[in-house]
Amino acid sequence: MNWQTFWESPCWDYFDKIGIAAALVAMVFSILVWLHQKRRERCENALVTVKLYCAEYGQSYVLPSPIRRKDLTRAEILGLLGMLPMRDNGQRYNLSGVSSQPFLAALENAQVDSRVGEVRVPCSMKELEQFDLGQLAGLRQDQVVNSAGLAVTGVTYFISRHAGAAAWAESEGFHVDRQLAHFDVESVMPGDTVLGTLPVNLVAAVNARGGRYFHLTLELPAEARGRELSADDMRRYGARLECYSARKQVLPAG
Of these ranges, 85-94, 141-150, 183-192, the one predicted with the greatest mean pLDDT is: 85-94
- At 4-63, the pLDDT tens digits run 565 566 676 776 777 788 888 888 888 888 777 777 777 778 888 888 888 766 677 888
pLDDT of residue 144: 40
- At 112-143, the pLDDT tens digits run 888 888 898 988 878 888 888 777 766 665 44
pLDDT bracket for residue 76 (50, 70, 90): very high
Q: Which residues contact 224 (CB under 8 A, 6 or more apart)?
A: 233, 237
**Residue 118, burial from CB neighbour count under 10 angstroms (0-12, 13-18, 19+):** middle
* Range name among 55-64, 79-88, 200-209 with the lowest pLDDT average: 55-64
Mean pLDDT of the chain: 79
With CA atoms as reference, report the closest residue to 244 among 209, 223, 216, 224: 216
State how far the Cα of 179 lies from the Cα of 158, in Å rounded to an integer: 5
pLDDT of residue 58: 64
pTM of the predicted model, to two decimals? 0.47
pLDDT of residue 253: 47
pLDDT of residue 177: 79
Q: Is 1's pLDDT higher than 80?
A: no
State how far the Cα of 198 lies from the Cα of 177, in Å rounded to an integer: 18
Q: Is 239's pLDDT higher than 50?
A: yes
Is the distance from CB of 105 to CB of 120 less than 8 angstroms? no
pLDDT bracket for residue 107 (50, 70, 90): very high
Domain coordinates in residue numbering, the chain: 3-44, 46-135, 143-244
